[in-house]
Structure 1
């Protein structure tokens, strides 16, 4: 043994390597013994003797790796002087030797998986951290935050800046100018930046979920982030909570409040008390925005300042100017609310290019245009159907209509529906309504779907009716065939011979309005709260005398330049399929008032 040690030291001093080990490594690398002997200048018999005696062929691959590592490590240890890179390599080789030792122990059956990865021992210790449901990297977060204002219109930037300065924003707006979209994105970015919860309330759960849809789409499009969950929880624990107005647990939340379409929400004052309490801390802000409905709505005193002045001594009451001229650019009122009115011309001047105002004026009557796009409230005193009565028909269909899903190919299965159609004339709209009749006598009618069309010829209108006949089990079809409406009716008759055409006259309109008044006043009608067009259409119906002055009839300002009430007439064409129940207290009162 002493002789072998002396030989090894002599060889290392000469060529800095153990010849036997070098021969062994060359052999494992595929060199023939004769070639190894020539390269190392030693006899072939010596190498063959080492190979047989030490059983080089029986050594496992991991052992060969270990020998190679050991050889290199020995060379570096013996080297003097050593450089910085030498010390780094020595450290690396030692760690690799430890790794090889664990693999050998595992391979020989004396170890387990922890020998390969010691960290496994601790993976189940302590509290387990739940993985983020919606992971967002720092780079993605920057994209989402920076992308907010890039595509916004100037009036939306005004809303954003007002939110940074004022705790309560109250905005009266034109329809379809992107308010819901903007506030969805603003709230999402605020949650990312501050960690504050964001709470969304609208007239129905379906409408509140529109906020969620906008947020999910924005996150995917801008930063390729997949957001999940009915309540979206962000990595910083901020929650995006989407509620309908019938939520019984709203008081358990806290965060910024966004309340959409307040002038179309039933029981607004009751809901506002609960909703505003969720944002009562000074760190949270409240945002209310809506198109107008009627002066009789319970949200009007909140907007006009009458609620603030109610019960206060006259000396403490504030003076509220809610005119468009005063609020066009946004003002803070005596109640510390920041108010603004944004009509369609304001939006157009603010860069919104999504409308053709000339076409809109042709599609809508003057009154309807003023309400929907010019932020004017309706005074329903002259209307046959009062807003308070119509508002009771609004329901959260997502919560209570379990047998209806508009996303299905057959949304209502094989259940019976009735279809009413008010055709388009030159310059106005056509309207289609699909109604689920009551399943029992005296039951409730439901407006499952309604739609308006513009710029379609008779054949195209008839084709739309055919489409809905394929999607629903339509058992009855009623079509207004007055004047040019007979063109649509005649085409529909070719594929639905059972279609009924109505030739409008004072007697027929009286029966239609009387029947609708009877149904609605008894609470026998439901439509989704998202359908603001329906009450607006019914409120447009007023009474007038016929040309002879001897008979009362009903109208909704239809002319070549304007249309109004089209949705209401389409619905009423289905309701008259149900026979009158005779003279009741309700319809007798109606006839006395409106005859």
Structure 2
């Protein structure tokens, strides 16, 4: 066995003392060595550059050897030996961590054991028992009387509700569905005319959870901690297959391909544990869904002795009724809503704003007879698309929703404060001759004077690359036009006359008839506006004109006329290489 030289032992001892904080001169004096010798060792062996861990290891080693060689040992000696041994083990883990490829598991073995097991995903969209109870109380406390009626009928297998506009049906059923999903773990499926319309449900659900429980629900679909899924679907039958749960069918009287969609939707709730809820404002009796509402579909192809009498009068259904075909039906007009505690409306003002036909259809739940309408329900359904799916170049929430592509604006002004509403549409013109017009936005403005109306148009021009604006120059429209040309000099004043209206209507019929107009399927108000236009005689009785009851006392089909103000920018024969100018009569 080769023994280390005395010089090596002295150098190690001197280094250990230096690392303990001794000065070179003190080390030399204590060990009886020349100071220059200690300085030489310090420089050659780079004592100052040694890593901290090496210095600690050396000190622990020296102390541990000293204790191991000690005889006899005390109890504290054994404790210190154990402590120093554990420190050596810890320093060895530090060295493995610092080596190439080292990980945190080298420092803490518990990490490796923890990572070896299956990962537990953090629970999302979780409600505590206290939050569920608070949600329930907030839900029930927020309801009007007619919404309490809907709640009491929640266990009905099938509910079918004919309702007025703007009485909070979508808002209510979003809350009902969320509470049911939380309480029972059942899936909830929301089916609307378009994906954008379906996401109104999602907006209401997230808002309710945030307000009541300070919980921000995430995901699409929303998946709750108890396994319940909340799906938000458009009317595409292909996207609606394969789901199961309670389903809510919004504005079903306005959807296209109702029979096909309803067949798929009904399959979602075929098991007896699921519930089906249909609710909508009325459209026309020609819509396929009317046969479900009236019971005609049930009685179809059944022997006379097996047919059922389904009563669908307002008097019979005002409080809700399970009919002979086991479908729970109810009619809620705007007057019923007011009697049920909804004080959000001024009925006298609404009777002024809407024509009698519009008031009866939109607010009193009466079906339209579109037999004498220039734009039938079937024609308008051909225009209704799922814009979220079909229009990939539109980003509604962006600063510039349509980028820098050109758009046209059609505007039908109101009669000012206390008068009817104004209508504005933003239309993307065809990118090539014979292409499609797309209505990107529509707005109804109420209670604005001519300055406010012009300012609203100006804000639209900041968000889109507007190349044309058409404004009805009748009455207050002349003042609106005068202000608009200050920031858009090319704005056109459309002077109404029987001939002018005839050309606009003919152009719109041509465009719609050829399938060249599209708008989101959730915009039933735009479809209703077109359906309200009828042929009539002028005041002289000598000339045919077109009207929706527009007078100073009644409303009018503002959105439809606004849309036609934009469409007429294309010549009657369509845009060609040789004909792109406006009609001279304007």
- Distance in 1 separating the partners of 2:520 and 2:353: 24
> 3-state SS of the aligned residue for 1:408?
coil
Match of 1:220 in 2: 210
Report the Cα offset of residue 509 of structure 1. Answer: 0.7
Cα 1:125–1:440 change in 2 (3 A) is: same
1:265 equivalent in alignment to 2:248: no
Quick one: which of 522, 533, 541 aligns to 1:530? 522
Match of 2:495 in 1: 503
Deviations 1:338-364 (A, max 9, x none): 000111111111111211222211211
1:126-165 maps to which residues of 2 (within 5 A)? 126-164=117-155
> 3-state SS of the aligned residue for 1:487?
helix
Report the Cα offset of residue 551 of structure 1. Answer: 2.4
> 3-state SS of the aligned residue for 1:281?
coil
Gaps of at least 5 residues in structure 2 are 1-58, 65-74, 97-103, 575-586
Report the Cα offset of residue 145 of structure 1. Answer: 3.1
Deviations 1:335-390 (A, max 9, x none): 10100011111111111121122221121111111111111111011111111011
Q: TM-score, normalised by structure 1?
A: 0.78
Report the Cα offset of residue 537 of structure 1. Answer: 0.7
- Point out the more displaced range, 548-557 or 445-454: 548-557
Cα 1:247–1:231 change in 2 (3 A) is: farther
- Point out the more displaced range, 341-350 or 273-282: 341-350
Match of 1:71 in 2: none
1:384 equivalent in alignment to 2:384: no
Match of 1:123 in 2: 114
User: Is the 1:418–1:434 Cα contact (8 Å) retained in structure 2?
Assistant: yes
RMSD over aligned Cα atoms: 2.4
Match of 1:321 in 2: 311
Deviations 1:370-424 (A, max 9, x none): 1111111110111111110111100111111111122122111111111111111
- Distance in 2 separating the partners of 1:482 and 1:413: 33
Quick one: which of 278, 289, 304 aligns to 2:268? 278
Report the Cα offset of residue 106 of structure 1. Answer: 4.9
Match of 1:356 in 2: 346
1:389-428 maps to which residues of 2 (within 5 A)? 389-425=379-415, 427-428=419-420
- Point out the more displaced range, 99-108 or 188-197: 99-108
- Point out the more displaced range, 355-364 or 290-299: 355-364
> 3-state SS of the aligned residue for 2:92?
coil
Report the Cα offset of residue 572 of structure 1. Answer: 0.6
Match of 1:472 in 2: 464
User: Is the 1:231–1:240 Cα contact (8 Å) retained in structure 2?
Assistant: yes
User: Is the 2:537–2:544 Cα contact (8 Å) retained in structure 1?
Assistant: yes
- Distance in 2 separating the partners of 1:178 and 1:428: 23
User: Is the 1:192–1:234 Cα contact (8 Å) retained in structure 2?
Assistant: yes
User: Is the 2:438–2:517 Cα contact (8 Å) retained in structure 1?
Assistant: yes
Report the Cα offset of residue 548 of structure 1. Answer: 3.8
- Distance in 2 separating the partners of 1:102 and 1:244: 69
Match of 1:460 in 2: 452
Report the Cα offset of residue 462 of structure 1. Answer: 1.2
- Distance in 2 separating the partners of 1:371 and 1:452: 18
User: Is the 1:205–1:399 Cα contact (8 Å) retained in structure 2?
Assistant: yes
Match of 1:373 in 2: 363
1:562 equivalent in alignment to 2:554: yes
- Distance in 1 separating the partners of 2:83 and 2:247: 60
1:215-254 maps to which residues of 2 (within 5 A)? 215-254=205-244
- Distance in 2 separating the partners of 1:254 and 1:566: 41
- Distance in 2 separating the partners of 1:148 and 1:495: 48
Quick one: which of 172, 176, 184 aligns to 2:162? 172
Cα 1:484–1:227 change in 2 (3 A) is: closer
1:451 equivalent in alignment to 2:434: no
- Distance in 1 separating the partners of 2:516 and 2:554: 30
- Distance in 1 separating the partners of 2:363 and 2:564: 26
User: Is the 2:412–2:558 Cα contact (8 Å) retained in structure 1?
Assistant: yes
Between the two proteins, the alignment pairs up a number of residues equal to 489
Quick one: which of 536, 545, 570 aligns to 1:544? 536
Report the Cα offset of residue 580 of structure 1. Answer: 2.0
User: Is the 1:106–1:115 Cα contact (8 Å) retained in structure 2?
Assistant: no
Report the Cα offset of residue 329 of structure 1. Answer: 0.3
Gaps of at least 5 residues in structure 1 are 1-57, 64-73, 75-96, 583-595
Deviations 1:534-579 (A, max 9, x none): 1111111111122343321111101111111111111111111111
Report the Cα offset of residue 470 of structure 1. Answer: 1.5
